[in-house]
Structure 1
Amino acid sequence: MSDQDENEQIVRNFLMGAAHTQAALRRRRVILFVDESMLTEHGYEPVFVAEGETGCYRQGRENHQQPWYFGHDFKVAKRLVDEANERLGVSPEEAHHIVMASMFPGYRP
Protein backbone atom coordinates (compact mmCIF):
# COMPACT_ATOMS: atom_id res chain seq x y z
CA MET A 1 0.00 0.00 0.00
CA SER A 2 1.40 3.40 -0.96
CA ASP A 3 1.71 6.24 1.56
CA GLN A 4 -1.09 8.12 -0.20
CA ASP A 5 -3.40 5.07 -0.08
CA GLU A 6 -2.56 4.58 3.59
CA ASN A 7 -3.26 8.25 4.37
CA GLU A 8 -6.58 8.13 2.54
CA GLN A 9 -7.57 4.98 4.47
CA ILE A 10 -6.76 6.77 7.72
CA VAL A 11 -9.01 9.67 6.71
CA ARG A 12 -11.83 7.25 5.76
CA ASN A 13 -11.52 5.50 9.14
CA PHE A 14 -11.57 8.86 10.93
CA LEU A 15 -14.67 9.94 9.05
CA MET A 16 -16.56 6.74 9.86
CA GLY A 17 -15.91 7.26 13.57
CA ALA A 18 -16.28 11.03 13.43
CA ALA A 19 -19.77 10.83 11.94
CA HIS A 20 -20.92 8.98 15.05
CA THR A 21 -19.03 11.39 17.29
CA GLN A 22 -20.54 14.41 15.52
CA ALA A 23 -24.03 12.96 15.93
CA ALA A 24 -23.40 12.29 19.62
CA LEU A 25 -22.13 15.80 20.27
CA ARG A 26 -24.94 17.41 18.24
CA ARG A 27 -24.02 20.93 19.33
CA ARG A 28 -20.27 20.80 18.80
CA ARG A 29 -18.24 20.14 15.73
CA VAL A 30 -14.95 18.29 16.01
CA ILE A 31 -12.34 18.98 13.36
CA LEU A 32 -8.84 17.89 12.51
CA PHE A 33 -6.06 20.46 12.57
CA VAL A 34 -2.42 20.37 11.48
CA ASP A 35 0.26 23.03 11.18
CA GLU A 36 3.94 22.97 10.25
CA SER A 37 5.05 22.60 13.88
CA MET A 38 3.37 19.17 14.13
CA LEU A 39 6.01 17.28 12.15
CA THR A 40 7.38 14.28 14.05
CA GLU A 41 9.89 11.66 12.98
CA HIS A 42 6.91 9.59 11.76
CA GLY A 43 5.21 12.43 9.83
CA TYR A 44 2.66 15.15 10.56
CA GLU A 45 0.44 14.31 13.51
CA PRO A 46 -2.91 16.13 13.29
CA VAL A 47 -4.94 16.87 16.41
CA PHE A 48 -8.66 17.11 17.12
CA VAL A 49 -10.19 20.48 18.04
CA ALA A 50 -13.70 20.62 19.50
CA GLU A 51 -15.83 23.67 18.85
CA GLY A 52 -16.37 25.69 22.00
CA GLU A 53 -13.45 24.12 23.91
CA THR A 54 -10.02 25.49 24.72
CA GLY A 55 -7.05 23.47 23.52
CA CYS A 56 -6.89 20.34 21.42
CA TYR A 57 -6.82 16.58 21.75
CA ARG A 58 -3.95 14.41 20.59
CA GLN A 59 -4.88 10.99 19.30
CA GLY A 60 -4.14 7.56 20.64
CA ARG A 61 -2.44 8.57 23.88
CA GLU A 62 -5.08 7.36 26.36
CA ASN A 63 -5.52 3.96 24.75
CA HIS A 64 -1.80 3.50 24.13
CA GLN A 65 -2.55 3.36 20.43
CA GLN A 66 -0.33 4.72 17.71
CA PRO A 67 -1.61 8.14 16.53
CA TRP A 68 -2.30 8.82 12.86
CA TYR A 69 0.43 10.37 10.77
CA PHE A 70 -0.27 12.14 7.48
CA GLY A 71 3.15 11.81 5.83
CA HIS A 72 6.16 14.12 5.79
CA ASP A 73 4.83 16.58 3.19
CA PHE A 74 2.95 19.45 4.86
CA LYS A 75 0.88 20.21 1.74
CA VAL A 76 -0.38 16.61 1.65
CA ALA A 77 -1.14 16.61 5.40
CA LYS A 78 -3.01 19.92 5.13
CA ARG A 79 -4.99 18.68 2.11
CA LEU A 80 -6.02 15.51 3.97
CA VAL A 81 -7.11 17.54 7.01
CA ASP A 82 -9.08 19.99 4.85
CA GLU A 83 -10.77 17.13 2.96
CA ALA A 84 -11.70 15.37 6.21
CA ASN A 85 -13.17 18.56 7.65
CA GLU A 86 -15.12 19.31 4.47
CA ARG A 87 -16.60 15.80 4.51
CA LEU A 88 -17.76 16.61 8.02
CA GLY A 89 -19.45 19.73 6.69
CA VAL A 90 -16.86 22.22 7.95
CA SER A 91 -15.27 24.60 5.45
CA PRO A 92 -11.61 25.64 5.78
CA GLU A 93 -12.76 29.10 6.92
CA GLU A 94 -15.04 27.62 9.60
CA ALA A 95 -12.25 25.27 10.72
CA HIS A 96 -9.92 28.28 11.03
CA HIS A 97 -12.43 30.05 13.30
CA ILE A 98 -12.87 26.91 15.45
CA VAL A 99 -9.08 26.65 15.87
CA MET A 100 -8.67 30.36 16.65
CA ALA A 101 -11.44 30.19 19.29
CA SER A 102 -9.73 27.15 20.87
CA MET A 103 -6.50 29.16 21.19
CA PHE A 104 -7.95 32.54 22.14
CA PRO A 105 -11.04 32.40 24.37
CA GLY A 106 -13.40 35.18 23.46
CA TYR A 107 -12.28 35.13 19.81
CA ARG A 108 -15.04 36.24 17.43
CA PRO A 109 -14.75 35.99 13.64
Structure 2
Amino acid sequence: MIREKALELKKDFSYIKKYIKYWLFFMAVSGTLVVYNQYYFSVEKEITQLTEIKNQLTAKNMLLKKEISKLSSPERIGKIAKQNLKMKPVDYSNVRFIDQ
Protein backbone atom coordinates (compact mmCIF):
# COMPACT_ATOMS: atom_id res chain seq x y z
CA MET A 1 0.00 0.00 0.00
CA ILE A 2 2.75 2.48 0.93
CA ARG A 3 4.76 1.40 -2.07
CA GLU A 4 1.76 2.03 -4.35
CA LYS A 5 1.28 5.49 -2.86
CA ALA A 6 4.99 6.23 -3.29
CA LEU A 7 4.85 5.16 -6.94
CA GLU A 8 1.72 7.23 -7.47
CA LEU A 9 3.36 10.24 -5.80
CA LYS A 10 6.47 9.76 -7.94
CA LYS A 11 4.26 9.60 -11.04
CA ASP A 12 2.44 12.80 -9.98
CA PHE A 13 5.78 14.51 -9.29
CA SER A 14 7.09 13.61 -12.74
CA TYR A 15 3.85 14.95 -14.24
CA ILE A 16 4.24 18.21 -12.30
CA LYS A 17 7.93 18.39 -13.21
CA LYS A 18 7.05 17.94 -16.87
CA TYR A 19 4.62 20.89 -16.93
CA ILE A 20 6.24 23.20 -14.34
CA LYS A 21 7.71 25.44 -17.07
CA TYR A 22 4.26 26.09 -18.46
CA TRP A 23 2.81 26.83 -15.03
CA LEU A 24 5.65 29.21 -14.22
CA PHE A 25 5.17 30.96 -17.56
CA PHE A 26 1.42 31.20 -16.96
CA MET A 27 1.96 32.64 -13.46
CA ALA A 28 4.53 35.15 -14.74
CA VAL A 29 2.19 36.35 -17.50
CA SER A 30 -0.72 36.57 -15.06
CA GLY A 31 1.36 38.55 -12.58
CA THR A 32 2.53 40.90 -15.30
CA LEU A 33 -1.04 41.49 -16.44
CA VAL A 34 -2.17 42.24 -12.89
CA VAL A 35 0.65 44.78 -12.39
CA TYR A 36 -0.06 46.37 -15.79
CA ASN A 37 -3.77 46.58 -14.99
CA GLN A 38 -3.09 48.33 -11.68
CA TYR A 39 -0.74 50.78 -13.38
CA TYR A 40 -3.31 51.43 -16.13
CA PHE A 41 -6.04 52.23 -13.60
CA SER A 42 -3.77 54.55 -11.63
CA VAL A 43 -2.84 56.42 -14.82
CA GLU A 44 -6.50 56.59 -15.84
CA LYS A 45 -7.40 58.04 -12.43
CA GLU A 46 -4.65 60.64 -12.73
CA ILE A 47 -5.83 61.61 -16.23
CA THR A 48 -9.36 62.08 -14.91
CA GLN A 49 -8.13 64.29 -12.06
CA LEU A 50 -5.97 66.37 -14.38
CA THR A 51 -8.84 66.79 -16.84
CA GLU A 52 -11.06 68.01 -14.00
CA ILE A 53 -8.39 70.49 -12.88
CA LYS A 54 -7.97 71.68 -16.48
CA ASN A 55 -11.71 72.29 -16.81
CA GLN A 56 -11.74 74.26 -13.53
CA LEU A 57 -8.78 76.37 -14.67
CA THR A 58 -10.40 77.00 -18.05
CA ALA A 59 -13.56 78.23 -16.36
CA LYS A 60 -11.53 80.45 -14.01
CA ASN A 61 -9.56 81.80 -16.98
CA MET A 62 -12.80 82.74 -18.76
CA LEU A 63 -14.04 84.56 -15.65
CA LEU A 64 -10.75 86.44 -15.35
CA LYS A 65 -10.85 87.44 -19.03
CA LYS A 66 -14.37 88.73 -18.54
CA GLU A 67 -13.24 90.73 -15.51
CA ILE A 68 -10.25 92.11 -17.45
CA SER A 69 -12.50 93.28 -20.27
CA LYS A 70 -14.86 94.89 -17.77
CA LEU A 71 -12.02 96.64 -15.90
CA SER A 72 -10.30 97.86 -19.07
CA SER A 73 -13.41 99.32 -20.69
CA PRO A 74 -12.94 102.90 -21.94
CA GLU A 75 -16.02 104.08 -20.02
CA ARG A 76 -14.59 102.88 -16.71
CA ILE A 77 -11.15 104.36 -17.41
CA GLY A 78 -12.73 107.69 -18.40
CA LYS A 79 -14.83 107.71 -15.23
CA ILE A 80 -11.77 107.06 -13.04
CA ALA A 81 -9.83 109.78 -14.91
CA LYS A 82 -12.60 112.30 -14.25
CA GLN A 83 -13.23 111.41 -10.62
CA ASN A 84 -9.80 110.60 -9.21
CA LEU A 85 -7.44 112.55 -11.47
CA LYS A 86 -9.74 115.53 -12.12
CA MET A 87 -9.20 115.21 -15.86
CA LYS A 88 -11.52 116.80 -18.39
CA PRO A 89 -12.67 115.37 -21.71
CA VAL A 90 -10.49 116.27 -24.68
CA ASP A 91 -11.71 119.02 -26.96
CA TYR A 92 -10.52 117.82 -30.34
CA SER A 93 -10.86 121.31 -31.84
CA ASN A 94 -7.83 122.39 -29.80
CA VAL A 95 -5.76 119.30 -30.73
CA ARG A 96 -3.23 119.41 -33.54
CA PHE A 97 -2.46 116.17 -35.33
CA ILE A 98 0.93 115.77 -36.96
CA ASP A 99 1.14 113.70 -40.12
CA GLN A 100 4.35 111.87 -40.75
* Highest RCO, 1 vs 2 (Cα 8 Å, sep ≥ 6): 1
Q: TM-score, normalised by structure 2?
A: 0.22
Q: Larger C-alpha radius of gyration, 1 or 2?
A: 2
TM-score, normalised relative to structure 1? 0.21
Comparing both structures, which one devotes a greater share of its residues to strand?
A: 1
